[in-house]
Structure 1
Amino acid sequence: MVAVPAVVTDAYERLVAEFDKLSTTQKYAVGVAGGVASAYLVGSLLFKSKCEKSKPSTFELTGGSIDSAKVKEEFAAYADSYGKNAGEGIVDRSKTVHLVDVFYSLVTDIYEWGWGQSFHFSPKLPNKDLRASEAAHEARVAALLRVKPGMKVLDCGCGVGGPMRTIASVSGAHVTGITINQYQVDRATRHNEKQGVAPLTEVVRGDFLNMPFKENTFDGAYAIEATCHAPKLEGVYGEIFRVLKPGSYFVSYEWVSTAKYDASNPEHVKIIDEINFGNGLPEMRTYKEAEDAGKNVGFELVMSMDLATASVVAGPWYERLRMGKCTHTFNHMLVSAVDAVGLAPKGLKEVHHMLVEVAKSLIQGGETGVFTPMHLLLFRKPAPGEKKK
């Protein structure tokens, strides 16, 4: 396990915050600097004495809920679950829930290490740094849900709770998050306590296809790049519909293929297949399929728009990936190094390699316009006796 000193993560966040003040060339230089910072980080770990393992660390690279001895085995099983034919996705959809649990055990620490506590993309706002753009993307959800202090909100697929903490803070509402992964439950709960939002939050482990909540419980619900993991969208949308109070809203940022996607184009198919594999998706839906899934379970569709192309002034959602290419390369060299000397679970190197490769596919998806991770869908649950619009 690799302990990452807080001073390094703090320095990295400050570096990211300065991105919008730099030219394109300078941003690439910052990417290199991030790699050098990571080199220092892992290099210091390589020279640490094993007797220091008893000391509490602020962060570790692990296999999450998976025993370190089984990381390589579980990753191999995950990789084998995807079909070899173009456009096939996960072969046995009945295993999707388990595979998503495995996926997030494998990647959660790496996500936090390299990305932060909000596992999603955001359009880059003019004159705003990455963190401010991220917070605005999350705060939009609270506004669309029309939630207020005292209301109850559901975060469907909450991860380690980055958006939850923003939405609870800006709205004053109580947010309950659900995730299939126990490791993420523990991480999110710890972050909530550390950041002072524990009174407004709760995190539970559960399957969002069969949630442990009564009907008509929540005043609003949202999913940020999460329901794409469901084997069938109607399954998770139907559960959200059940637990929402009549008249309440549900917001989702969906991973979907766009109107530019051509299923007969081998390049397009390859991009989508790689995105599915590298992100634990059973398949890729179209935005129209997502709209229809909500309507099929009883929702009224209030709004549908691709936030990736909605603004002519916002920067590309994939810019952060593009500018981080150098850092990704450095980090993979470092993960390989700690793997070689036995300081990381066997198999973690392969997991990190998968994420480095899928970053390239995501960039291609954005540059070609065939994929978006932020198609906004706003649904409303009609009140009894109310005519559907």
Structure 2
Amino acid sequence: MVAVPAVVSQAYERVTAEFDKLSSTQKYAVGAVGGLASLYLVGSYLFKSDNTKPTTLQLTGGSIDSAKVKAEFDAYADSYGKGAGEGIVDRSKTVQLVDVFYSLVTDIYEWGWGQSFHFSPKLPGKDLRASEAAHEARIAALLRIRPGMKVLDCGCGVGGPMRTIAAVSGAHVTGITINQYQVDRAKHHNAKQGVAPLTDVVRGDFLNMPFKENTFDGAYAIEATCHAPKLEQVYGEIFRVLKPGSYFVSYEWVSTAKFDAKNAEHVRIIDEINFGNGLPEMRTYKEAEDAGQTVGFELVMSLDLATASVVAGPWYERLRMGKYTHAINHAMVSAVDAVGLAPKGLKDVHHMLVEVARSLIQGGETGVFTPMHLLLFRKPEAPASK
């Protein structure tokens, strides 16, 4: 994901089309003016700093003390091996590293992407927000949930999908995330948007969840279980807390059948996606299917939504639409970093996200990666008592 102001995301298509018609000189002029305007807004809006709880979004280090942001980012970067396909070297530190990752990027994600930290296929005639909502509402339909049911959001982030799914289904959704800052943000948004009675958010490790067996009537994970050291661990926990006969939906980040481990370019793309998104490694879609079945789930559906429709636009189109704003935004973040209006190291975090945006686009264009392989699992009914 990359920082593109959320307030203008719905106008990207029109603006980008017009921008492409300009000459190089005109584009430079527009970029310069936009950059100056952005710098002015940063000082008055995004980087307010006082001792009171902010009422507007700030770009911070999340749960990390601002003085430690750079050191934490450097340690995060050093946790990845330098060899091709190596990923996180010490997988036992994955949970801690994911917590650090989301403290570093959550504000930037909200600022640039919105409250739903995921991709969505662009639907014909629909704007980005409508496409995003449809992608989330599909989950409620697949889970067969209704008012009075209890649903688990595994890796809920700041709760964008939770709010959509609770609203369209009437079910109560409990979200779990490893990051306390995201818990606080999700609760804030839930209350502000009027869905607090239908939601709850807890901090916890989805490899060892604080819920009893057979608690939930359904569960879902949106681009989240990819952070687990092993899929079997998180799938096994979800299986445990689901009631028999219930469904689990996951949108998985996986490599596709087009990925060739002997192709150096393919490996580079995947390695960069892993690093820029806090993933320990990249699994294949087949490995994800097998992991669910290994822990006891029945596989009901396996479908790559990135290629399932010939009329939906590419999932990475939103990244491509922002190509002219990436440099402006990074200059803006670099400037406020230089004058001390943002934590030292935030510039490095933003640079990482700008770079991984290119790799994600390449993953989509080559077809070697998808962030939305749909897996629908079912926990078998309990055996009838004799």
* TM-score interval, normalised by the smaller of the two chains: over 0.9
Query: Residue 176 of structure 1: SS of its match in structure 2?
Result: strand
Query: Residue 50 of structure 2: SS of its match in structure 1?
Result: helix
**1:251-286 CA distance string (max 9 Å, x none):** 000000000000000000000000000000000000
Going from structure 1 to structure 2, the CA distance change for 1:160 and 1:38 (only over 3 Å counts) comes to farther
Query: Residue 53 of structure 1: SS of its match in structure 2?
Result: coil
Distance in 1, matches of 2:32 and 2:300, equals 44
**Contact map agreement 2:38 2:332 (CA 8 A) in 1:** no
Q: Kindly, what percent of the aligned residue pairs are identical?
A: 80
**Contact map agreement 1:19 1:129 (CA 8 A) in 2:** no
Distance in 1, matches of 2:333 and 2:92, equals 33
- Equivalent residue, structure 2, for 1:16: 9
Distance in 1, matches of 2:32 and 2:11, equals 16
Root-mean-square deviation (Å):
2.2
Query: How is 1:307-322 mapped onto 2 (pairs within 5 angstroms)?
Result: 307-322=305-320
Query: How is 1:260-339 mapped onto 2 (pairs within 5 angstroms)?
Result: 260-339=258-337
> What runs of 5+ residues in structure 1 fail to find an aligned partner?
1-7
- Equivalent residue, structure 1, for 2:158: 160
- Equivalent residue, structure 2, for 1:3: none
Query: How is 1:1-389 mapped onto 2 (pairs within 5 angstroms)?
Result: 12-13=6-7, 15-20=8-13, 22=14, 25-26=17-18, 39-46=36-43, 53=50, 56-385=54-383
Equivalent residues, number = 374
> What runs of 5+ residues in structure 2 fail to find an aligned partner?
none
Query: Residue 270 of structure 1: SS of its match in structure 2?
Result: helix
**1:298-331 CA distance string (max 9 Å, x none):** 0000000000000000000000001101111111
Distance in 1, matches of 2:367 and 2:19, equals 23
The alpha carbon displacement at 1:26 in A equals 2.5
Query: Residue 159 of structure 1: SS of its match in structure 2?
Result: coil
Going from structure 1 to structure 2, the CA distance change for 1:332 and 1:287 (only over 3 Å counts) comes to same
- Equivalent residue, structure 2, for 1:5: none
**1:148-192 CA distance string (max 9 Å, x none):** 000000000000000000000000000000000000000000000
**1:63-117 CA distance string (max 9 Å, x none):** 0000000000000000000001000000000000000000000000000010000
- What's the TM-score once normalised by structure 1's chain length? 0.92
The alpha carbon displacement at 1:29 in A equals 7.6
**1:183-204 CA distance string (max 9 Å, x none):** 0000000000000000000000
Query: Residue 61 of structure 1: SS of its match in structure 2?
Result: coil
**1:2-33 CA distance string (max 9 Å, x none):** xxxxxx96xx53x322345x386326589997
Query: Residue 379 of structure 1: SS of its match in structure 2?
Result: strand
**1:321-358 CA distance string (max 9 Å, x none):** 01101111111000000000000000000000000000
The alpha carbon displacement at 1:40 in A equals 2.2
Going from structure 1 to structure 2, the CA distance change for 1:47 and 1:306 (only over 3 Å counts) comes to closer
Distance in 2, matches of 1:71 and 1:383, equals 48
The alpha carbon displacement at 1:41 in A equals 3.7
Distance in 1, matches of 2:60 and 2:307, equals 36
Give the AA of the match of 1:66: I
The alpha carbon displacement at 1:35 in A equals 8.9
The alpha carbon displacement at 1:231 in A equals 0.1
The alpha carbon displacement at 1:52 in A equals 7.4
Give the AA of the match of 2:346: L
Q: Which runs of 4+ in 1 moved over 6 A?
A: 29-35
Distance in 1, matches of 2:190 and 2:48, equals 31
